[in-house]
Amino acid sequence: MTKDEAGKFSEQNNTLMANGRTKPSGKASLSTFIYNRREGTFLGRTGKSWVQIVVFYIFFYLLLAAFWIACLAIFLQTIDNSKPKYYGKDTIIGDNPGVGYQPWLKDHPESTLIKFNSKNKSSYEDYVNTLNKYLEKYSITNNTRDCSNSGDSNSQIISDGRANASAEACRFTLDLFDKANCNKKDDYGFSKGTPCIILSLNRLIGWTPENYKGEVPEEVKGRYKPGSIAFYCNGTSQIDNELIGSVEYIPERGIDGKFYPLCCYGKLPPANCSNGKV
């Protein structure tokens, strides 16, 4: 044995003697960590230590839960269950509704072109099915009322910016559409080459139409009535204007203002509140 080897052996021997025992194996170390009978510990802690840490975390999480519940309770006090906290001009939508149309094919969401052959039913079948599905909800008349009398409107059931608990919104019927052959039976005019296109406004809580303060535009002057929302349609190009032909508006005055302000919040089911159609 060399001098260096003898020195290392002596050093290791001294270490073992100082420790009083040899270094345990891996399995022995794990079992000792799980339960050390000599020191009376379990997973490195005594029974007293485990009791202390368990009690600490019980109180810690109880206080954390209480703090979270208190914050949630304060937040809920600021929420109005009948309408959003911010709407109209306080949102990116703004205080003027946009115009939507049907039939809008979800399979082609970016296309606004309605193209079909009146002699080929398969070319307009998707449009007809879309309109059927869209108008199904207007067959439901629950929680709605007839507003055919002059002066009837949704404004009668709005108080302090919200719908009354027992309120019934004005009912939108399809009678005018049926008289103009814009119905399922007539394929909404597609089979005759005179398709029915439904126009509507986005639903904005609290919005009501305003009458023209100045002169009424020539395009709607002959059809417009105060309190209503008149529409005028034309093409985006010269070719569009040539192909669009004459347009008949049903009803002529546009959307009746009696369907505003929107009352589809609070106690009223949204499916039974209409914002009118043309």
Classified as helix, coil or strand, 162 is strand
Of residues 4 and 190, which shows the higher confidence score? 190
What is the distance between the alpha carbons of residues 100 and 121, in angstroms, rounded to a whole number? 25
Strands 99-102 and 198-201: antiparallel
Please determine, looking at this structure, whether the domain spanning 89-272 carries the CATH number 3.30.460.80.
Answer: no
pLDDT-based confidence at residue 127 (cuts at 50, 70, 90)? very high
Helix (H) or strand (E) holding 80: none
Q: What integer pLDDT is reported at residue 258 of this predicted model? A: 79
Global pTM value: 0.64
The DSSP call for residue 262 is B
The DSSP call for residue 70 is H
Phi and psi based region of residue 66 (left: phi greater than 0; alpha: psi -120 to 50; beta: remaining): alpha
Domain boundaries in the chain?
3-76, 89-272
Question: Residue 19 above 70 pLDDT?
Answer: no
Q: What integer pLDDT is reported at residue 271 of this predicted model? A: 39
Of residues 24 and 204, which shows the higher confidence score? 204
Question: Residue 267 above 70 pLDDT?
Answer: no
Of residues 87 and 16, which shows the higher confidence score? 87
Question: Residue 247 above 70 pLDDT?
Answer: yes
pLDDT-based confidence at residue 25 (cuts at 50, 70, 90)? low
- Chain centroid to Cα 190, Å, comes to 32
Strands 144-145 and 169-170: parallel
Q: What integer pLDDT is reported at residue 99 of this predicted model? A: 87
